[in-house]
Amino acid sequence: MSELTLEQVAEARGLYAPRVTWVHHWTPDLFSFRVERPQSFRFVSGEFVMIGLAQPDGKPLLRAYSIASPSWEEHLEFFSVKVQEGALTSRLQHLEVGDRILLGRKPTGTLVLDALEPGERLIMVGTGTGLAPFLSVLRDPETHERFGHIVVSHTVRQAEELAYRTFLEEEIRSDEIFGELLKDRFTYYPSVTRGEFHRKGRITDRIREGLFRQDLGLGIEARQTSRFMICGSIAFNKEMVEILTGWGLTEGTQSNPGQFVVERAFVG
């Protein structure tokens, strides 16, 4: 029997098989790529979806990936680690423009605006590839209708792992749609834990010590007037939830909005 094509596997499993349109390698261990967005594929900014490749036996190998592009874009963008012995990312890292991937039909997730009560500012705190959903939420016009100020905090081990830094520092400010909207209303807050950088240390420590708040020019009352999205490793998420619940904040869901939401950054 001849091997099935990716399109045949997708068809048999009720998945999409969009083509890759762009690949960018940030470091030897991090890359991003885009695929065409199928016409009928809809999602809410901040959600994740299952993506993957076919195994030799024709079974799909799928992992959850946050969508890094906003819901109005014509493509879907993903930000991934490359794990050399990882079943999926060891193969995904070799993607080239024109290749196809498998894409699930049911995006879902907790990092959505509807799960948050109204507040003065939205503070998104992520580590590693946990930045991805925030890149989507940041470029959703609804985010700017709901919040007066937006903060994206990204912590990585080494400065070169600050993927999207140029985009967040410069490009988005000259963007046709968002440049004006974000002027004076957006703070990008990068930090590095193991290498040289102007802001060093874990974000959890900076928050506990009050440095994060001071850097943003906020008073202690900002704990109650801010809304938070958290996305990183399990240990990081756990620490952040401890901090936020310690301030008396509660986790929100779509049916019962709260002051913060959490999602883990998925590793392939």
Sequence-ordered list of residues with C-beta below 8 angstroms from that of 69, at least 6 positions apart, any chain: 34, 75, 76, 77, 135, 136, 139
Instruction: Map residue 69 onto helix, strand or coil.
Output: coil
In the complex with ligand A2P, which residue's Cβ is closer, 12 or 235? 235
Residues across the chain: 268
Report the C-alpha gap between 112 and 256 in whole angstroms. Answer: 12
Q: Does 134 bind ligand A2P (CB under 6 A)?
A: no
Contact 140, 172 (CB under 8 A): no
Of 33-41, 110-118, 172-180, 231-239, the segment contacting ligand A2P by CB under 6 A is 231-239
Report the nearest approach of ligand A2P to the CB of residue 173 (Å): 25
Q: Which is nearer to ligand A2P, 239 or 251 (CB)?
A: 239
Q: Which of 239, 262, 264, 268 binds ligand A2P (CB under 6 A)?
A: 239
Per-residue tokens: 109: 């997730």
**CA–CA distance, 233 with 218 (Å, rounded to integer):** 27
Which one, 29 or 114, has the nearer CB to ligand A2P? 29
Contact present, 81 and 268 (Cβ < 8 Å): yes
Query: Which single residue is written with the structure tokens 């509807």?
Result: 114
Spatial distance between the Cα atoms of 190 and 204, rounded to a whole number of angstroms:
13
How many CB atoms are closer than 10 A to CB 197? 15
Closest distance between ligand A2P and the C-beta of residue 189, in Å? Answer: 13
- Which residue from 33, 178, 236, 260 is in contact with ligand A2P, where contact means CB under 6 A? 236
Tokens of 159: 């400065």
Q: Whole-number minimum distance, CB 141 to ligand A2P, in Å?
A: 30
Tell which positions 141-200 bind ligand A2P, by CB under 6 A: 155-157, 193-194
The count of residues interacting with ligand A2P (CB under 6 A) is 14
Which lies closer to ligand A2P via its Cβ, residue 21 or residue 27? Answer: 27
Q: Which pair of structure tokens corresponds to residue 11?
A: 């068809």
Interacting span for ligand A2P (CB under 6 A) from 11-19, 140-148, 209-217, 227-235: 227-235
For the bound state, the minimum distance from the C-beta of residue 229 to ligand A2P, rounded and expressed in Å, comes to: 16
Is residue 204 a contact residue for ligand A2P (CB under 6 A)? yes
Footprint of ligand A2P on this chain (CB under 6 A)?
127-128, 155-157, 193-194, 202, 204, 232-233, 235-236, 239
